Amino acid sequence: MSDLGRVLRLDARRTALLVAVPVLTVVGTAAAAMSLCPVAYWDNTVVALLNAVRFLGPVAAALAAWTAVRERPLDYLRDLTARSPATGVLFDLLLLSAAALVSYAAVTVVVVAATLAQSEAGHPHPLGVVAGAGSLVLHVVVGYLTGRLVPHRATAALVLTVAAVWAAARVPGVSWWSLLPPAAFDHIALFTTLRPEILVDQLTWAAGLTTALILGYVMWATRRLLIVLPLVVALGATGAATLGLHRSDGTVTPVSAEPVCRDWPLTVCVHPALRDALPRLIAAATPLAARLNGTPGAFTTVEQRPAWAPLTVADGVATVHLDETLAPGYAARAVRQISETLKDARTCTDPPNRYRELVDAWLLGDDPPSVPDARTARRFASWSEARRRSWLRVHFADYRDCTLGPVNFQPFEHPRLYDAEADTGRLAQ
């Protein structure tokens, strides 16, 4: 009984491994923070957790290997009991995996809280969180079993080095190998989402290989050949998941998103993750819309489009691309996209038309560029806002085709002279 008590006390002492939880939590939180984006998009939250495993996994594997090496000389105490020789190993793996998962859960809580504190958009992917947990447990099992098989002081350092190299070799988008746990994902662009099949294959791969390693060790320790069947099943699942990752056609797929809009003085609609951009975008686009009012390029609605979608100005709707990080100047860049969209690509070629640039500067509220024809530049600068708008209505075709010349800026009188102050439209200035 005294020997059994010593074994039980030895097993209970394994709870000291929980001191590793703060270490793993700090490492995982720091790694996740590096992958978090300023825009709260749930897909990128999951990516941050999955990328954190690339740092958290090697540390957890090294701690597991160190534990295995440290406790290996005490195995003779377990031999004094009637328990299976694999029981102690399985108990150690349970404690180590629990410690790693507790730290992973703490990192998940921090990252989710950071997302909820912002204007989050998209939908959470619990499967992605589980896939990251499976990859972390795989690191623990590999590290511990390596320490059992190679009980040397340098084993923990070797495990850390090899696991870190394996994680660093994950380069997003280069090869399907990068999808093997710990997988590396690129930033998930708005209007796209993670493909669930990828997450399922990664979870299956990690779970299958973890199970196979544990069953293989148990079979080696107990000499029970009945374990061969579940071992083969686990290896088969791993192989099937490997083929699934190899045949995968990208990690993301397009997804529609219900936009958020503001309706005055323009109707501006953006991806829900970028709702904070609405005030500045409205303020930047309203002057341009007012100046284009009454021309074929007029618009009363601005809509954000995915980065791969073409930009157009048609039927009163102007489409733009937005910086997902909302970097300084994003609203001005979006308005400039509308101006560029008004060009006819067939006729607007290099070198640029300097007279069109003069008009663009007015439309965008920029300082006028240097124009060789100083007389024309002075004449255009002397016109009132109302006269410029009336002039643009008459000469819009030349503006669009980049064929403006000095003759277009000659003094003129037109019966449809536009009076901005008398306009009762919604874009009145």
- Same domain (yes/no): 194, 100: yes
The residues of the chain scoring below 50 in pLDDT are: 1, 4, 8-9, 12-13, 15-16, 73-74, 76-77, 80, 82, 414-429
Domain boundary among 254, 281, 312: 254
Q: Quick one: which H or E segment has residue 321?
A: none
- Same domain (yes/no): 65, 211: yes
- Same domain (yes/no): 246, 275: no
Helices in 150-277 by DSSP H: which ranges?
A: 155-168, 196-222, 228-246
Determine contact, residues 368/358, Cβ cutoff 8 Å. yes
Q: Is the pTM of this model over 0.75?
A: yes
- Same domain (yes/no): 238, 284: no
- Same domain (yes/no): 305, 335: yes
- Give the domain extent around 91: 2-254
Token readout for 114 is 């950071």
For residue 429, tell me if it sits in a domain. no
Three-state SS at 192: strand
Rounded to whole angstroms, the Cα distance separating 254 from 245 reads 19
Q: What are the pLDDT digits (tens) for 80-129?
A: 454 566 777 888 899 899 999 999 999 999 999 999 988 888 888 899 99
- Same domain (yes/no): 244, 272: no
pLDDT value, residue 154: 92
pLDDT value, residue 232: 95
- Same domain (yes/no): 144, 233: yes
- Same domain (yes/no): 180, 328: no
Minimal CA–CA distance to 349: which of 398, 396, 402, 386?
402
Q: What are the pLDDT digits (tens) for 366-381?
A: 998 888 888 999 999 9
**Residue with tokens 């071992």, as numbered in its chain:** 231
For residue 111, tell me if it sits in a domain. yes
pLDDT value, residue 424: 33
Determine contact, residues 28/55, Cβ cutoff 8 Å. yes
For residue 428, tell me if it sits in a domain. no
For residue 314, tell me if it sits in a domain. yes
What is the CA 190 to chain-centroid distance, rounded?
Answer: 8
Task: Work out how many domains the chain is built from and give that number.
Answer: 2
Domain boundary among 254, 286, 303: 254
- Same domain (yes/no): 317, 235: no
pLDDT value, residue 14: 53
What is the CA 45 to chain-centroid distance, rounded?
Answer: 7
